[in-house]
Chains A and B, each alone.
Chain A
C-alpha cells in the first residue's frame, strides 16, 4: 500500500498541506490538461482534415472499394464496399489467430515438456530452440520464412508432391478440396452424435468409478465411437463426400484448394516464435509443482504417464494460464505483421489500402484499434473464466 499521504487525517495549517485539497488540485489540473490537449488536438484535426479534404464521417464505408483481395473466406470483389473489405480483413486476421493459437500451443507444450525431459539431448535441443527463436525479431523470422524458404520453392510444374494429393510450390500449398454431395450432412451429424454418446459414456463411467471403484476404458470408447460411427454413415450413404484432387494443367494446378504462401509464412512464423515463449511458460509451470506431489503419486503406485496427466499438469495449469493468455493475445496482435509480407489481414487491408484510398485516417485507425481492443478483452475474458474454474479452491 503506497497511498499514504492521501489517507492521512486532514490536519490544521495551511491549505497546501491538506492532503485532500492537494489531491483534488492534482486531479483538477490533470482534467484541465486533458481537456486542453484533447480540445486542441480535435480542433487542429478538424481544420487539417478540412484542408486536406479528408472525410469526417463514416460514409466512406458504403462506397465501392475498387480493389481486389486475393485471399478471402467470404465473397468479395472489387465492386464490394469498403465495409466488406473490412470484414474480409477481420476474418483473415481471425483465421490466422485461431490456426496460429492451435499450432503454437501444440509446438509450445511439446518443446516445454522436452525442455524438462530426462533425456539429455532432447532437453538440449529444446533449449537451443527456445534460446534461438525468442532472441530474434519476429519480423525477421517472417521475412525469412517468406523470402528465403517459401519463395524459392519450385514453380508449380516442379511441385514437391506430398502424400495424400498435397502439393507444395512457390504459389503455396495445394490440397484436395472436399466436395459435399447428397446426404453429406448426415456424416457431420454422425460426428456430433458420436461426441455426445462419448460424453454420456464418460459421465456414466465416472459415476460408476465413484460408486464401485471400477474403471472403464474411456479413451478407447471415445476413439472407437469417433471413428466407427461417421465412417459407417459415410459408407452406408454411398460415400457422399468426394475430394477434388488438384491436377497440374498447363502452368498451374486446377481443382483442389490453395493456401497462399503469405498465409503459410505468417502462421508458421507466428506459431514457431510464440511457441518459444509458451515453452518457457510450460516449463516454469511444471517446475512450480512441488516434487512431493510426484513422490506422493508414485507412492500411490501411479505410473509416470498418469502422474503427469492427473497430478502435475492440472496443478501446473494454474500457473500457466495467465501468462499463456498474454502469449495468445501477443500472437493475435503480432498477426498485424502480415502487412510486411502482403497477407491481407485487417491492418493490411483496412489500415493500409482502405486508409490510403479514402484518406479517412482518424475513422480507420479508430475502428482498427477498437477491433484489437475487443479481441483482447474477449480473449482475456474467456481465459479468466477458465482460470476461475481451475483456480485453487481455498477454505
Chain B
C-alpha cells in the first residue's frame, strides 16, 4: 500500500448544506400546495385571478375611496366609496334607538355589568364561577330591568319600552333568550327522558312543534295571539310578547342540546349516585347535570349564536332592533347617497360578524379543552 493513499479519506465533516429549493422553502411549498397537478395549477390561477379581481375593488370601496368625514353632500358625490360619515352620524341611533340621550348611561352601565359577568362566567380559570352564574341568571336580570326601565322607587325616570331600540334591543333579546332557555331547556330535556309517560309526551310535543315551525310564526303567534289568550287587563307589553316568543323558541332548541349531553353520560354515573343514596333531583343537580352541561357547552354556544342572528326577525312585529334601526336610518331622505345602502349593510354585517365569530371561537376553544381533558 503506498503511503498517502489515506489522503482520500475525509477527516472533517462537510458543513451542512441547505436543502434543495425543490424540497424546502417557498418554491417547494408552492409546488406542493398550489401546483401539485395541472388541474390544481389551473385552479390556483383561477383563484388568484378571482382574488385579484375582487380585492382591489373591496379595498377601494371600504378604505381608499370611502368618505370618512363630511356630510350628506360629500357622500352624494362619491359613487364608489363607502360613506362612513353616515354611520358616524347615525351611530347613537343604531346603538340606543330612541332612548333619551341623557339616560344613555343607564344602558351603558347595564351592558358593562353584563359584560363583566359574562367574561367572569366564560373565562374557564376565573375563581368562583358558580357565584357568577348565580349573579348572571338571577340577580342581573332583575337589576337590569329596574336600571333600564326605571322606577320611582330608585328615583330613575321610567323609559317606556316603545323608546327602546338599536343594538341594545338585539343584546337584550339574546340575553333574555339564553337566561330563560337554559333552565327551561334543562327541564324539557329531563322531561323528554323521564319514565313518566305524560310528562314525556308533553315535553316531546312542545319541543317538536316549536322546532318544526319557523321562528317568524312563533313571533306572529306571540304578538297576535298572546293578547287573546290572557285577560284583557294583562295584555303583555309590546316588547314582552316577542321576548316570550324568543324564550320559548330558544328553549326547545336548548332542550335538544341538553338531551345530547344527558345521553352522553355513562350509566355508571347514575348508578354511582344511586349507590350514594341520592334521590332523582339530588343526583341530577350534583352529579349528572354539571357534567352533561359541561360537555355540551359548544352546543349551547352554537344555539346562542343562532339566537343572536335570529333576533333580527323581531323587526316583523315592529321592534326596532339593531338591523331595523339601521334600515330606517338607511332610508333617511337627507342622506340619499348612492352607497348609503351598501355601507349600512356592510357595517351591520361587520357588527354581527364580530359577535358571532367571537362566540364561535370561544366554542372551539372549549371543545379543544374538553378533548384535552378526555385524553388523560
Q: Enumerate chain A interface residues (CB-CB to B < 8 A).
A: 1-7, 23, 26-27, 30-31, 34, 40-41, 44-45, 48-49, 117-122, 125, 131-132, 134-140, 143-144, 147-148, 152, 333-334, 336-337, 339-340, 347, 351, 355, 361-362, 365, 368-369, 372-373, 376-377
Contact = CB atoms under 8 A, between A and B. Distances in A.
Interface residues of B, number: 68
B213 A373 contact: yes
A30 B214 contact: no
B177 to A, nearest CB: 14
B138 to A, nearest CB: 23
Contacts of A1: 267, 270
Interface in B319-376: 323, 327, 341-342, 345, 348-349, 352-353, 356-357, 360
Contacts of B315: 139, 340
Contacts of A34: 202
Nearest to B33: A120
Contact of A140 (B43, B271, B349): B349
B213 A48 contact: no
Nearest to B356: A135
A61 to B, nearest CB: 18
Contacts of A351: 216-217, 220
Q: Specify the main secondary structure of chain B where it touches its partner.
A: helix
B311 to A, nearest CB: 8
Nearest to B30: A120
28 contacts: A3-B193, A4-B270, A4-B273, A6-B280, A27-B196, A44-B228, A44-B229, A45-B225, A45-B228, A49-B228, A118-B33, A119-B43, A121-B47, A131-B357, A135-B356, A136-B349, A136-B352, A137-B310, A139-B315, A140-B312, A143-B345, A336-B217, A337-B313, A361-B228, A365-B225, A369-B221, A372-B214, A376-B212
B313 A139 contact: yes
Given A30-B198, A135-B352, A143-B327, A5 B280 contact: yes
B309 interface: yes
A355 B33 CA distance: 58
B141 interface: no
A389 to B, nearest CB: 24
B145 to A, nearest CB: 25
A339 B43 CA distance: 39
B216 A347 contact: yes
Contact of A2 (B196, B221, B265): B265
Given A4-B273, A44-B229, A336-B215, 18 more contacts: A2-B265, A6-B194, A6-B195, A26-B196, A31-B198, A44-B228, A117-B40, A121-B34, A122-B44, A125-B50, A143-B323, A148-B345, A337-B216, A340-B315, A347-B214, A351-B220, A362-B228, A373-B212
A358 B24 CA distance: 74
Nearest to B48: A121
Given A5-B279, A361-B224, A369-B213, A119 B34 contact: yes
Interface of B: 33-34, 36, 40, 43-44, 47-48, 50-51, 190, 193-199, 202, 209, 211-217, 220-221, 224-225, 227-232, 262, 265, 267, 270-271, 273-274, 279-280, 283-284, 288, 305, 309-310, 312-313, 315-316, 323, 327, 341-342, 345, 348-349, 352-353, 356-357, 360
A129 to B, nearest CB: 12
* Chain A CB within 10 Å, residue with most, of B44, B48, B279, B280: B280
B205 to A, nearest CB: 10
Contacts of B196: 6, 23, 26-27
Nearest to B230: A44
Contacts of B283: 4
Nearest to B274: A4
Contacts, number: 168
Given A2-B288, A136-B353, A140-B312, A372 B43 contact: no
B282 to A, nearest CB: 10
Contact of A122 (B47, B209, B224): B47
Contacts of A368: 213, 217
Given A362-B228, A372-B212, A3 B194 contact: yes
B362 to A, nearest CB: 13
Contacts of B288: 2
Nearest to A124: B47
Nearest to B358: A135
Q: Which 7 A-B residue pairs are closest in the complex by CB-CB distance?
A: A135-B356, A5-B280, A3-B195, A41-B229, A120-B33, A336-B214, A137-B309
B270 A340 contact: no
A122 B51 CA distance: 11
Contact of B44 (A6, A26, A119, A147): A119
B228 A27 contact: no
A135 B47 contact: no
A18 B288 CA distance: 22
A365 B348 CA distance: 31
B195 A137 contact: no
A118 B270 contact: no
A17 B312 CA distance: 49
A144 B224 CA distance: 29
Contact of B228 (A7, A48, A355, A377): A48
A347 B217 CA distance: 8
